[in-house]
Amino acid sequence: MGNPAVPTTDSDSVHSVERIAVSLVSLTIHHSRNGKGIAMLTMSDRIRGARTSAGLSQSQLANETGVKRSAVAQWERKEGTHPSVEHLARIAVVTQVRFEWLATGRGCGKADGGELSAAAPNADYARNDLEGNILSLFRRLPPRKRQVAQSIIEMLGV
């Protein structure tokens, strides 16, 4: 028997590297208190780390951002494509990380109190305080509860 900490196949090596990268990004998100973060992480690393830290699958993030799962997979590939600014902002909202950190790697990863940073305030999306409060509450819901909330709103006759 080999050492369980030592990968035995190429597949194990890939998964080990992915786990290490995700752990590093998660630590950056949760423990970056000095406002500097780790800028050397790639955007794909930051997107993957934000998604996994939020407990979302690629399919769930795709659903939340209005794209196919393959688009999320591309964003998370080292040599993959980058999301549009609109999609990047949506990823930041859904995963509750700061837009600046997600886009550039600068600043703290985790948004204060689960809210989006000043890069995309509620005022851009809500017409009044009531809508802003509802939107803020909605954004804090996990994906399945968001679907339930949407169904309830639709049943109310919107």
Identify the CATH number of the domain in which residue 71 sits. 1.10.260.40
Kind and range of the H or E element at 104?
A: helix 99-104
Answer yes or no: is 116 within a domain.
no
Question: What are the structure tokens assigned to 104, written together?
Answer: 């550039």
110 DSSP assignment: B
Tens digit of each residue's pLDDT, the chain (158 residues): 444 444 455 555 545 555 555 555 554 444 443 444 444 478 998 999 889 888 899 999 999 999 999 999 999 998 899 999 999 999 999 998 888 888 888 777 776 544 333 333 333 456 677 777 787 788 788 888 888 888 888 788 76
What is the domain extent for residue 54?
10-111
This prediction's pTM? 0.50
Answer yes or no: is 97 within a domain.
yes
97 DSSP assignment: B
